[in-house]
Chain A
């Protein structure tokens, strides 16, 4: 296991080292300062504003900001749905795929517009290259930029001492795309191609194998999509088996780089935050809370997977590692990643709301599988999705300030601003909306006869895990899956012969994703509006500090408390039951 720990340690070190430079760069972008790429991109930026008829620098209050965001997302939702529905008549479709059914398209559209990338379809058997490039990958960029815009607006609200403006949505959107997401994606995509990720527009190729058999190799513009899929914490695979497929992720090195792409923005944002509020310690405090929860998850899932599963042991298989063999639970894992990189990926993709996978989650051991559940149960505040993670965490910070204030008997203040009834009401709604959506939808789906067909594993803890995880993942805009659960029956036949959608599951999931994405965004923007323009009072002796270990401890405690109280009973019935009982079903 030493080599495994070494790789995990190396990843953590590189990630932490990148935090500051990335954080500084993003802070400069969001505050309109010059950066390395300004000379090249400023003319393009100015031109874009002219084309889009945007007046840069024109401040919006929270309602105007929210309206722009909602209208923009709605128009893009319609555009994407139309693209997917009319796939059959579009170019770049060498395999001649027709559109998936309407209900599956509803789910997929909602999924990509909300940065979830939950997938009921298999990419290589359903989507044309046009749909992948011009439909889905565009949303990988845009939905990520929307998430980042919201956190930037919230930060401005926290900082602003006068006026009601929290920035300009269009400007935040364009700058995020132009200065952050697009340049990194270009470099990332070219690097991935240089390592073997494919990038072509040709036909799938039929090949005579070495022993005279037939194998068809899927093709596609994969690298360009892979880069933004990870960077924007989207996670929607070009292929059905996502980043486990060698054409998406061919080696230990690509795996490492893809993991970095997933975490680099979410981990850099707390630093950006510290810089924008004028106190780097505030940023590090939030980073520390996230980091602590992340590391615990990695350790647990690695140890659990290395131990092996009850089914393996019952079959008489020895799961200890020895010279030349990784040992452990290799069911649903590829050799080049082994146990350590699969475990690391599992933790990274579920703390962020990425949801790309390089191993099969449903085959994780009970306790190993409980880690993704727990990470999602924390409402994606442990680094979280790009933007979404930090804005959700800031709600928890305000909650912690409030509870801490009650404990010491002081009026709660955050960065000099009083936290009052209105803010706390909005924060509570923002914090509780997603968990409530999860429990309600998972409850309905568990009870409804219509949803029965979606479950693969049957009536046992694994089957329950599938359902619970499906709604946990969709509500948290993650997109990873206990992939037996389905809303689109594709009988693994070429050309998708005999495929049909399961309307109940598709529609419920789509509605859950939309609600749990945009309702919290509105609450967050409302909080930003409520904080903007509040007077700042200088810190006194009795002010509760929010940049020291005590506060980090309090914050971690509250995240765990809310997550545990909400989800502990449900998680017990699924993965934990599997992990503790060792019974086979």
Chain B
């Protein structure tokens, strides 16, 4: 018993030092030298000014931008939580109905043929992370007409920017394709600044 206790105490010290400090600090050291950009959050900038991380989505309002998905956390990057709406929740039904109506109302003036049936699910549902950096390609295609009209770009130009900022499946097979909203909006600002 005493031997077990002594070995346990020693093990707690040794393991905390090796696994709890040496290991993460060594990984941090290597990461900061070899992958400094990624280790610090994959920042993106406009005109030399950092405006966010390409991995962390942002909220966009107004007609001149592509809009991100609805979020339970208002795109908080330091306080995260799930929306936790159950599958049979009446509140969830109401929220989706509202989002759907707002989405159609916003895009319809630029695409007269748009109906509720064509709205992709991601456009009106909250993500898991609260900071989903991407929207679906279908969602981006619908919004392209509005953004092109407001920014005075041709639809072809905007669709070109969309495909430039679409992340395909990793290795061509893994995950779902998605359009990075922040990077797309940065590209828009570069191609056709608001003022």
Contacts and interface: CB of A to CB of B under 8 A. Distances in A.
Interface of A: 3, 6-7, 10, 48, 51-54, 67-68, 71-72, 74-76, 79, 122, 124-125, 133-135, 137-138, 141-142, 170, 173, 177, 182, 185-186, 189-190, 193-202, 204-205, 207-211, 213, 215-219, 221, 223-225, 239-241, 244-247, 250-253, 255-256, 308-312, 314-319, 322-338, 340-342, 357-360, 362-366, 368-369, 456-457, 460-462, 465, 482-484, 492-494, 578-579, 581-585
A324 B120 contact: yes
A302 B155 CA distance: 36
B174 A256 contact: yes
Which of A137, A141, A215: most chain B CB closer than 10 A? A215
B147 to A, nearest CB: 14
Contact of B178 (A53, A197, A336): A336
A336 B175 contact: yes
Which 6 pairs show the lowest CB-CB distances between chains A and B?
A252-B175, A324-B138, A338-B176, A134-B20, A462-B86, A325-B120
Which of A221, A336, A583: most chain B CB closer than 10 A? A336
B9 to A, nearest CB: 6
Given A224-B28, A246-B129, A325-B139, A363 B78 contact: no
Given A189-B27, A210-B51, A215-B56, A310 B80 contact: no
Given A177-B19, A311-B93, A333-B127, A326 B31 contact: no
Nearest to A169: B4
A67 B86 CA distance: 45
Given A326-B121, A328-B121, A7 B78 contact: no
B174 A584 contact: no
Contacts of B41: 198, 200, 205, 217, 219, 247
Given A311-B87, A362-B86, A215 B93 contact: no
Given A10-B173, A217-B56, A332 B40 contact: no
B27 A462 contact: no
A584 B93 contact: yes
B85 A332 contact: yes
A241 B129 contact: yes
B154 interface: no
A492 B79 contact: yes
Given A54-B7, A68-B7, A75-B5, 8 more contacts: A52-B7, A208-B51, A217-B56, A251-B174, A315-B95, A324-B138, A483-B84, A493-B79
A198 B42 CA distance: 8
Nearest to B7: A52
Nearest to B11: A52
A333 B83 CA distance: 11
Given A7-B173, A255-B174, A309 B88 contact: yes
Interface string B20-35: 1101110110111011
A215 B54 CA distance: 13
Contact of A365 (B78, B87, B116): B87
A554 to B, nearest CB: 36
B90 A333 contact: no
B125 A207 contact: no
A186 B89 contact: no
B86 to A, nearest CB: 3
Nearest to B139: A325
Interface residues of B, number: 108
A457 B89 CA distance: 9
A416 B113 CA distance: 74
A496 to B, nearest CB: 10
A215 B75 contact: yes
A217 B78 contact: yes
Given A199-B31, A208-B51, A75 B12 contact: yes
B23 A335 contact: no
Given A138-B15, A182-B19, A224 B170 contact: no
Contact of B87 (A223, A325, A329): A329
Contact of A142 (B4, B19, B189): B19
Contacts of B148: none
Given A138-B16, A218-B77, A311-B90, A327 B167 contact: no
A349 B152 CA distance: 48
Interface string B47-62: 0011111011011111
A499 to B, nearest CB: 12
10 contacts: A53-B10, A71-B1, A74-B8, A186-B27, A224-B27, A252-B174, A311-B89, A324-B141, A465-B86, A494-B79
Nearest to B121: A330
Contact of B85 (A246, A331, A359, A578): A331
Contact of A240 (B65, B81, B127): B81
A245 B62 CA distance: 26
Given A250-B55, A311-B88, A332-B82, A200 B189 contact: no
Contacts of A252: 169-171, 173-176
A221 B167 CA distance: 26
A363 B28 contact: no
Contact of A584 (B32, B90, B127, B134): B90
A456 B6 CA distance: 45
Nearest to A6: B173
A456 B96 contact: no
B78 A124 contact: yes
A335 B140 CA distance: 13
B80 A239 contact: yes
B8 to A, nearest CB: 4
Given A67-B4, A194-B38, A317 B85 contact: no
A363 B52 contact: no
A193 B31 contact: yes
A334 B128 contact: yes
